[in-house]
């Protein structure tokens, strides 16, 4: 359905004149957008009641009033097609996560409920100056923490090539465009987690189906040996993950982990840990040990989060990030795409992270790797365009942040990875494994760098940009 058809639907309900037609606002009548596959131009006369009106004003007021009328009656246009987005009626009334688990294809079109779609229509109707919002983002001289969801949506829904191009332009001002950091992630404590994250094989409740065997915490010696191997293969950041809910009652484990942090730091590498929820004192101990960054993803939007995890609240995640930030540790926080969320949820994720008191030093972007035996084990992979849009938008709203392509990169071609780098991604995870999923190996990534002319980023390396505040 074209813009004009949606407008007619709104107008007919107001005027009760089923024959009345009018052009899309801001475009001559002979340049109406065409439905996919149609080649003929459409000429539609301007209706007499609006001949003297400003077309943009007419469009905004008509859509707003029309949507109100449609909501009141319970009806609505099936599709609203505008320059920034396409929102389609879902084929099923099942929840998004149910559709994902059933194998529904997840693309940029939201898999939302009827009410969600009407709200999204209203959001889209407000995005009348998307180009100006994008231009302002590209001209940024430093981080900004007061983004609105509407502004982020205006950027996210830009034509994809333009979005990726502008993100690349901004990326070159804040970062070395040809440098990408190699990071290695080690699972220092496998399985046995009490959480119910729908995507994770390490949850105790799913281990019977996944076949994952729980293991105790690795020794300090084995972890430092793995870090040494990672460094010898070119990694400059070493991350350690433990599968548990929090650090309560784990004094001995925390002592061992601080020893690991000190050892990795002594190698000249950046060191990051992800240990679940921590309090102020635990954060301080990790800082004193020399920790570079603490990873604690928010995963998705606040609205969609309960569909994925019920054993830990969204606010508990944000509280942990606050403890980390207050201790003076760099925050690493991102999300997982392809959980069954809509594009509006991806925008919500970006809004949460970009409006933290300070932007995270790192924003990991994970594509769900479906693991048999977990609730999301049969999920259809996310469309790559959603990954690219998220990376490009993240770069535009968090210009100084390092954007890390994390889980799911193994399924991406070199060409897709290159597009991500062009759009602002500048770090990848490499090595033998990424927690419980496959990871691109060092030799594979070395060849990738050689073919695409990429250069490994050094530890603690960051481009100095004149007039730009530090993140």
Paired with 241 in beta bridges are 187, 274
pLDDT value of position 246: 78
pLDDT value of position 230: 97
CB 405, CB 434: distance < 8 Å:
no
Q: Give the max Cα distance, the chain.
A: 81
Give the pLDDT confidence of 336-355 residue by residue, as tens digits. Answer: 999 999 999 999 999 999 99
Rounded mean pLDDT, 208-219: 88
Instruction: Mark out the alpha helices in 143-219 (DSSP H runs).
Output: 149-156, 160-174, 207-210
Q: What span, in angstroms and rounded, lies between the C-alpha atoms of 229 and 184? A: 10
CA nearest 193: which of 182, 184, 206, 183? Answer: 206
CB 186, CB 297: distance < 8 Å:
no
CA nearest 123: which of 88, 84, 162? Answer: 84
Rounded mean pLDDT, 460-470: 56
DSSP character string of 218-286: PPHHHHHHHHHHHHHTT--EEEEEE-SSB-TT-HHHHHHHHHHHHHHHHTT-EEEEE-SB--HHHHHHH
pLDDT value of position 250: 83
Look up residue 266 and give its two tokens.
């002594």
Give the pLDDT confidence of 75-98 residue by residue, as tens digits. Answer: 433 333 333 333 333 444 444 444
Residues carrying an active site annotation: 193, 197, 200, 239, 272, 332, 404
CATH number of 176-456: 3.20.20.70
More confident residue, 459 or 55: 459
CB 209, CB 200: distance < 8 Å:
no
CA nearest 175: which of 387, 418, 455? Answer: 455
Q: Given pLDDT bands bounded at 50, 70 and 90, which one contains residue 44?
A: very low
Rounded to the nearest integer, the mean pLDDT of the chain is 79
Residue 471 confidence (pLDDT) above 80: no
Q: What is the DSSP code (8-state) at residue 77?
A: -
Distances (CA, A) of 156 to 57, 152, 399: 24, 6, 15
More confident residue, 84 or 372: 372
pLDDT value of position 15: 42
pLDDT value of position 190: 86
Q: Is 388 helix (H, G, I), strand (E, B) or coil?
A: helix
State the Cα torsion 154-159-160-163 to the nearest 10°. Answer: -50
Q: Is 364 helix (H, G, I), strand (E, B) or coil?
A: strand
pLDDT value of position 32: 34
Look up residue 400 and give its two tokens.
């100084």
Q: Given pLDDT bands bounded at 50, 70 and 90, which one contains residue 437?
A: confident
Rg over alpha carbons for the chain, rounded to the nearest Å, is 24
Q: 395: how many CB neighbours lie within 10 A of its CB?
A: 28
- What is the value of pTM for the model shown? 0.74
3-state helix/strand/coil string of 299-326? ECCCCCHHHCCCCCCHHHHHHHHHHHHH
Instruction: Name the segment(s) of the chain with CATH classification 3.20.20.70.
Output: 176-456
Give the pLDDT confidence of 119-163 residue by residue, as tens digits. Answer: 554 455 344 588 899 999 999 999 999 999 999 999 999 999 999
Q: What span, in angstroms and rounded, lies between the C-alpha atoms of 41 and 2? A: 12
Residue 214 confidence (pLDDT) above 90: no
Residue 432 confidence (pLDDT) above 70: yes
Tokens 């943009």 belong to 56
Paired with 456 in beta bridges are 180
- Lowest mean per-residue pLDDT among 50-59, 115-124, 307-316, 424-433: 50-59
Q: What span, in angstroms and rounded, lies between the C-alpha atoms of 468 and 140? A: 9
CB 336, CB 297: distance < 8 Å:
yes
CA nearest 163: which of 389, 354, 364? Answer: 389
Look up residue 298 and give its two tokens.
């928010």
pLDDT value of position 436: 81
Q: What is the DSSP code (8-state) at residue 424?
A: T
pLDDT value of position 5: 52
CB 434, CB 394: distance < 8 Å:
no
Q: Given pLDDT bands bounded at 50, 70 and 90, which one contains residue 469?
A: very low
- Inter-axis angle of helices 384-397 and 160-174, to 10 degrees? 40
- Lowest mean per-residue pLDDT among 125-129, 217-221, 318-322, 464-468: 464-468
CB 87, CB 79: distance < 8 Å:
yes
Residue 268 confidence (pLDDT) above 90: yes
Q: What is the DSSP code (8-state) at residue 161?
A: H
Give the pLDDT confidence of 12-38 residue by residue, as tens digits. Answer: 444 443 333 333 333 333 333 333 333
Tokens 């007021």 belong to 61
Residue 49 confidence (pLDDT) above 60: no
Look up residue 313 and give its two tokens.
């609240």
Q: What span, in angstroms and rounded, lies between the C-alpha atoms of 205 and 188? A: 20
Q: Given pLDDT bands bounded at 50, 70 and 90, which one contains residue 244?
A: confident
Distances (CA, A) of 41 to 8, 270, 425: 18, 58, 40
């Amino acid at each position: 359905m074209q813009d004009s058809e949606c407008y007619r639907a709104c107008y007919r309900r107001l005027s009760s004149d089923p024959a009345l037609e009018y052009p899309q606002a801001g475009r001559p009548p002979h340049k109406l957008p065409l439905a996919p596959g149609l080649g003929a131009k459409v000429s539609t006369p301007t209706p007499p009641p609006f001949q003297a009106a400003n077309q943009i004003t007419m469009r905004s007021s008509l859509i707003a009033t029309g949507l109100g009328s449609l909501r009141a009656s319970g009806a609505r246009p099936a599709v609203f097609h505008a320059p920034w987005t396409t929102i389609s009626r879902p084929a099923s009334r099942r929840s998004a996560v149910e559709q994902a688990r059933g194998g529904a294809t997840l693309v940029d079109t939201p898999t939302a409920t009827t009410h969600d779609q009407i709200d999204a229509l209203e959001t889209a109707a407000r995005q009348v100056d998307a180009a100006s919002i994008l231009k302002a983002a590209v001209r940024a001289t430093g981080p900004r923490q007061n983004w609105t969801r509407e502004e982020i949506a205006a950027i996210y829904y830009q034509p994809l090539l333009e979005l990726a191009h502008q993100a690349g332009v901004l990326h070159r001002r804040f970062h070395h465009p040809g440098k990408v950091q190699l990071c290695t992630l080690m699972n220092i404590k496998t399985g046995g987690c009490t959480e119910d994250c729908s995507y994770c094989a390490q949850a105790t409740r799913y281990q019977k189906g996944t076949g994952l065997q729980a293991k105790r915490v690795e020794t300090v010696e084995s972890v430092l040996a793995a870090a040494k191997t990672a460094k010898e293969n070119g990694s400059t950041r070493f991350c350690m993950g433990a599968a548990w809910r929090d650090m309560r009652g784990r004094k001995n484990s925390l002592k061992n982990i601080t020893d690991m942090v000190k050892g990795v730091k002594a190698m000249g590498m950046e060191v990051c840990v992800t240990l679940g929820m921590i309090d102020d004192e635990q954060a301080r101990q990790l800082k004193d040990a020399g920790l570079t960054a603490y990873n604690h993803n928010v995963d998705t939007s606040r609205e969609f989060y309960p569909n994925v995890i019920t054993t830990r609240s969204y606010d508990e995640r944000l509280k942990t990030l606050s403890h980390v930030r207050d201790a003076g540790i760099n925050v690493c926080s991102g999300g997982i795409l392809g959980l069954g969320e809509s594009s509006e949820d991806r925008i919500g994720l970006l809004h949460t992270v970009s409006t933290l008191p300070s932007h995270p030093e790192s924003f990991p972007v994970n594509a769900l790797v479906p693991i048999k035996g977990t609730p999301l084990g049969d999920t259809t992979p996310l469309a790559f365009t959603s990954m690219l849009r998220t990376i490009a938008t993240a770069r535009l709203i968090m210009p100084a942040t390092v954007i890390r392509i994390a889980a799911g990169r193994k399924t991406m071609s070199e060409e897709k990875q290159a597009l991500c780098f062009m759009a602002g991604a500048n770090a990848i995870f490499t090595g033998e494994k990424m927690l419980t999923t496959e990871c691109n190996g060092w030799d594979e990534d070395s060849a990738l760098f050689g073919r695409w002319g990429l250069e490994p980023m050094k530890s603690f390396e960051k481009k100095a940009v004149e007039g730009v505040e530090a993140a």
